Amino acid sequence: MVLFTLISLGEKPAMFIYLVVTVVGTRHSMANSASSGGTMSSSSRLLDGNKFCTCGVNCKLQTSWTEKNPGRRFFGCGNYGSVEACNFFSWYDPPTSERATKILWSIMQKNEKLKQQIEGQKREICALQVQLQEMSAQVLELTVMKDSYKSRCTKFRCVIGIILCVLFGKCFF
């Protein structure tokens, strides 16, 4: 397949050249590429601004979250994961410096630890909410018991008062 690309050589409209690129439809190992793993196809088509792989499916722009390429975007076969996949792979973003890669990976690791801490705290909050509901039920039960005892005490005082009145002939209220 041959692709023609229009390249501007200046700001004047007449200063364009056509770059002819021959795309080979063979697959090769990505071991030749220093920053990746797996297989890739070097063949793709660009139609209407969309990139298509060798199996004719619109490529998906995805993001790598590996230690070697954190946050680096790439095009992959739209059929990835199925038997029809052609294993097309092409980086969208240029490689990042080693320092930037290490910093991004470090940030990602810290972010993952924070997510785990948040999940732990969410579980703890749920456990505390269950405890709170149980304690609220106990408080309600104790309140009912207190009111019952209070009512009984009032009745008991009345009975004692009546008994004292009868025994001593005086009212102590």
For residue 18, is pLDDT > 90?
no
Taking alpha carbons only, the member of 85, 70, 77 closest to residue 53 is 77
What spatial distance separates the first Cα and last Cα of the chain, rounded to whole Å? Answer: 111
Query: What are the DSSP E strand ranges found in the chain?
Result: 2-8, 16-22, 27-29, 39-41, 45-47, 50-52, 60-63, 73-76, 89-91
- 25-29, 47-51, 108-112: least confident range: 25-29
- pLDDT category at 149 given cuts 50, 70, 90 is confident
Structure-model confidence comparison of residues 163 and 115, the more confident one: 115
Angstrom distance (rounded) from CA 50 to CA 29: 24
Select the more confidently predicted residue: 114 or 54: 114
The model scores a pTM over 0.75: no
Q: What is the three-class DSSP state of 34?
A: coil
In terms of Cα–Cα distance, which of 66, 108, 112 is closest to 89? 66
Asked whether residue 17 carries a pLDDT value surpassing 50, the answer given is no
Say if residue 5's pLDDT is above 60: no
Share of the chain above pLDDT 90, in %: 35
C-beta of residue 158 within 8 angstroms of C-beta of residue 171: no
Give the pLDDT of residue 59.
86
For residue 168, pLDDT beyond 90 = no
Residue 117 is predicted with a pLDDT of 97
